[in-house]
Chains A and B, each alone.
Chain A
Amino acid sequence: MDSTIEATVRSVLSEQGKLSEDAQSIAVDADLYRAGMTSHASVNVMLGLEDEFDIEFPEERLTKATFTSVASITEAVEAIHHD
């Protein structure tokens, strides 16, 4: 997993994720929804990531699964970068 991407993902999460845990230290595979991220917060996370990385999540990735953990988000961002 790309550590620069992961760091940016964590910083977007700490701004928009409404997490009850510290987004900088939460486990890469921890369930963000269980950690307090509401569905509306996940939308803000998505928009924040699109701004930061200058990408657009394709429709098939606009699912809960994409935004479920630091790892899943980082993988999605990497995959979109490589497309």
Chain B
Amino acid sequence: MTTTDIEQDLTRQQDTFREGLEANDWLLPTLGDGVTGLGPQAEDVVQGIASAARGIAARLSPEAGTRRLRFPPVNGTRLLERTDYVASFPQLLGTIAAFEGDNKAHRQLLATYEEQGDWSAQLTPAGHALVPAVCHPLYAYLEGSQVDGTVFELVGECYRHEPSPDPMRFVTFRMFEAVRIGTPAEAAEHREKWLAAGTELLTNLGLEVQADTANDPFFGRAGKLLSAGQREAQLKFEILTEVYPGHPTAIASANLHEDHFGEAFDLRTADDAVAHSACFGFGLERVALALAAKHGFDVAAWPASVRQELGLS
């Protein structure tokens, strides 16, 4: 097949899958480009995956346990600066604008809106940004503190501005993350343990998966250098599955950040060294959709072992 044939084949598979998901109430349309809601079966499966992930967390940290925290999908714009997201991924970020005008400005806004013009151009930056990864608010929360290798458990919404007709690519989605911040050895151990445990869970759910080195989609020519460095040092692994035969999609990732966040947020270990961090994340909607592709849209008819693993029976 030529490159065009391969692309057309993929587009066809994506369209067929999306139509099936929509027809079976798995994906619900919204007015946002690339934004979908979930129907009851899909949401049950998402909750089941999150619960299975919490089970792994409890098993892997039996003595110390984990700290389960919750941060909302919106944070200060400064978070994107402090994590280097603005420099590395400007194409994916989203900030919030709000109306802060007076009555005169409101009349202008209404006039524009009645003429079906772009009223949003009259808004001003609200100082808020959408969170691109659920672990980012954690580092900011811990800023300036001493860390001891505790594992943090987070579920939250992420925003990535990459609307796509591929139903596997969500503009906004939920991520389960297990994050460890401590010594370099603790971070590395966390990544290894979770990569193995995450692969095992996905396999038990009936998915054929494969872990492989990967890179984040860093922007531009500067990004080429960052991507090459990330791959060379094997800092990022993805767990991939073929929702579309012949085209692997990542449904989970395991990342070593080295001292990137430790440095940016002044996180130190007991010996006053800059802390290292690692995170493992499941893309919850992506895993759910991969399961639908594998087992069908009727969750009641899924294999008993899969239903049990997800707490659905």
Contact = CB atoms under 8 A, between A and B. Distances in A.
Interface of A: 38-40, 42-43, 46-47, 57, 59, 62-64, 67
Nearest to A57: B221
Interface in B210-227: 221-222, 224-226
Contacts of A59: 221, 224
Chain B contact residues: over half helix, strand or loop, or mixed? helix
Chain A contact residues: over half helix, strand or loop, or mixed? helix
Interface string B208-251: 00000000000001101110111011000000000000000000
Contact of A43 (B222, B230, B260): B222
Nearest to A66: B225
Contacts, number: 36
Nearest to B235: A39
A42 B84 CA distance: 14
Interface of B: 84, 87-88, 221-222, 224-226, 228-230, 232-233, 260, 263
A59 B227 CA distance: 12
A62 B224 contact: yes
Nearest to B228: A63
A6 to B, nearest CB: 21
A39 B84 CA distance: 11
Contacts of A40: 84, 87-88, 226
Given A38-B263, A40-B84, A40-B87, A64 B229 contact: yes
Contacts of A39: 225-226, 229-230
Given A63-B232, A64-B232, A43 B263 contact: no
Given A46-B222, A62-B225, A63-B228, 19 more contacts: A38-B260, A38-B263, A39-B225, A39-B229, A39-B230, A40-B84, A40-B226, A43-B222, A43-B225, A59-B221, A59-B224, A62-B221, A62-B224, A63-B225, A63-B232, A64-B229, A64-B232, A64-B233, A67-B225
